[in-house]
Amino acid sequence: MKKIAMFALFLIAVVTLSFAQQQVPVQQQMPPGYNFVPYIPPEAIDIAGATTRTPMAEDHAWALFVALNWPAPQNGKYNGVPDRNNVIGGRTAGGEDVPAAPAGPTVWQTYMDTNDLFLPGAAKPASFDAKQSIPAPCKSVARDGHRVLRMTEKVSDVLQSIHEANPNVRLIAQNGKEVWYEVRVNRAYYDYVVNNGLYNSNNRKGKKISFPAGSSTGRGEGAIRVKAAWMEITDRAQARYLYTSEALLYSPKTSRCRAATMGLVGLHIVHKTETFPSWVWATFEHVYNAPDVADVQSGQVTVPPPGFWFYDPKCKDCLWNQPPLNNDPHPRPTQVVRYPPVVSSGSTNREALNTSFSAALRQLGSANVWQYYGLVDAQWGLASGTPEDVLCLTNATMETYIQCGSSPIERPGQQATNVQGCMACHSQAKKTDFDFQLLKASPAMTLGDVRRAIDALDGQPQ
């Protein structure tokens, strides 16, 4: 199986390289057997001998991860393009762990924030290549290169209007700081929204929503959505293991803003292609987020050098995956335990990919932080939105309290219940092509939209 996985990786590298060479020369090839190229594959590649398309989706997920986390040019004129003279993690000098070119911002960080795409009053958004808008309360502390984070709840970007009707779903790291979230979209997504006037919700009426799909026949990369989870860093030693970024933390509720150094702990990547018309749903996590439930139950937890970001091994009686109390100004850190998704034999391919990519990224430089990230899995389905093979997929930093195989509040040894993942939630939004972001458009959501969104959040049928 490892040989098959390695051959699949090599095939992806060769085909990706061939696609890249049609545009510009590849700048770096390391280590042997891998061509790290910064170009987003427009379509997934068939894998000979695979009994399902899950290995195909998993390989595609890693190719997306590399391309999207490639550094963008510093002060580039266009957003969403890679720095061809750099490499994922930042180019190092003379084989040493000394950056000779910056590690960020990454390509996806130059995508448009959905808060700038869906504006109050259904105003037409600025150009895709415009800089992110800075809220007035942030301007006094803003510096060049700062980005803005506005969300402390993973669903608040869609459900802001009914915040009071939802449980408090904040996530508190072991350092006592809240996790912040953002959602960004690529140029293909942006163009579709703007060209069809979908930043105004009135323009959805009577219209079939169908975002552009990536194709190997030259139609481009297709629509991409990226959702990221960030942990505020309080110990600079943590930066050795995390991709970090300077950000402005802005609360729309309080109109307060402050600067902070943030570390990436979770990343959803969603890509629409012709092979996957209901999108590929891939999610990555930092490997030091939390231990797996099986290790906790067996007492075989191996604590990483910096500790877990969301789990305290000394707290034997802490409730697992319990959200903080509403309105608690000083909530306790969340004791997160990772519930692996319900997967088929495709997980063998995923494990081989994670091991291989981690080693390959480490060979680019022993301090390359991307070696500490891994694919949880990739889910896919047909046009109906029904997931195939990988039945459930969740991220411990984004679906902490509704993870696959867990209860919303979990005690050690408690009987768990299964919950569907990405596609089960987004299948509630078939009318908007499985996309909840369109529900942010002004005028505000209808009551029916709200109810369906709440049902999706709770994992309940309509």
Higher pLDDT, 162 or 77: 77
Residue 77 within any structural domain of the chain: no
Residue 197 within any structural domain of the chain: yes
In this predicted structure, what is the pLDDT of residue 117?
97
pLDDT, tens digit, 9 for 90 and up, residues 390-439: 667 889 999 888 887 665 444 444 434 444 567 667 766 778 887 888 88
Higher pLDDT, 450 or 10: 450
Residue 92 within any structural domain of the chain: no
The residues facing 249 across adjacent strands are: 149, 258
Q: Name residue, tokens 């995956």.
A: 321
Average pLDDT over residues 146-154: 84
Higher pLDDT, 42 or 55: 42
DSSP codes, 42-103: SS----TT-SSSHHHHHHHHHHHHHHHTSBPPTT-SSSS---TT--TT-PBSTTSSSBSS--
* Entry field: residues in the chain: 462
Higher pLDDT, 341 or 161: 341
pLDDT at 25 over 50: no
In this predicted structure, what is the pLDDT of residue 287?
96
What does the block give as tokens for 283? Answer: 């999610």
In this predicted structure, what is the pLDDT of residue 11?
36
User: What's the number of domains the chain is made of?
Assistant: 1
In this predicted structure, what is the pLDDT of residue 10?
37
pLDDT, tens digit, 9 for 90 and up, residues 92-110: 755 556 667 788 899 999 9
State whether residue 137 is helix, strand or coil: helix
pLDDT, tens digit, 9 for 90 and up, residues 209-230: 999 999 988 778 999 999 999 9
Residue 44 within any structural domain of the chain: no
Residue 184 within any structural domain of the chain: yes
Residue 80 within any structural domain of the chain: no
pLDDT at 160 over 80: no
Residue 90 within any structural domain of the chain: no
Percentage of the chain lying above the pLDDT 90 cut? 49
- Residue 166 confidence class, pLDDT cut points 50, 70, 90: very low
Average pLDDT, the chain: 80
In this predicted structure, what is the pLDDT of residue 461?
35
Alpha-carbon span 278 to 256, nearest angstrom? 39
Alpha-carbon span 14 to 45, nearest angstrom? 11
Give 204: exposed, middle or buried? Use CB within 10 Å, 0-12, 13-18, 19+.
Answer: middle
Q: Which range (3-12, 176-185, 276-285, 377-386) has the least confidence?
A: 3-12
Half-sphere exposure (CA, 13 Å, Cβ side) for 4? Answer: 14
In terms of DSSP bridges, do strands 179-185 and 224-232 run parallel, antiparallel, or are they unpaired? antiparallel
- Domain range for 188: 98-356+369-458
Contacts of 441 (CB under 8 A, 6+ apart): 118, 122, 198, 199, 200, 201, 204
Nearest to 309 by CA among 237, 231, 245: 231
Average pLDDT over residues 237-247: 94
Percentage of the chain lying above the pLDDT 70 cut? 74
In this predicted structure, what is the pLDDT of residue 93?
59
Average pLDDT over residues 13-30: 33
Residue 304 within any structural domain of the chain: yes
Q: Which range (7-16, 65-74, 253-262) has the least confidence?
A: 7-16
Alpha-carbon span 293 to 105, nearest angstrom? 34
Alpha-carbon span 72 to 108, nearest angstrom? 9
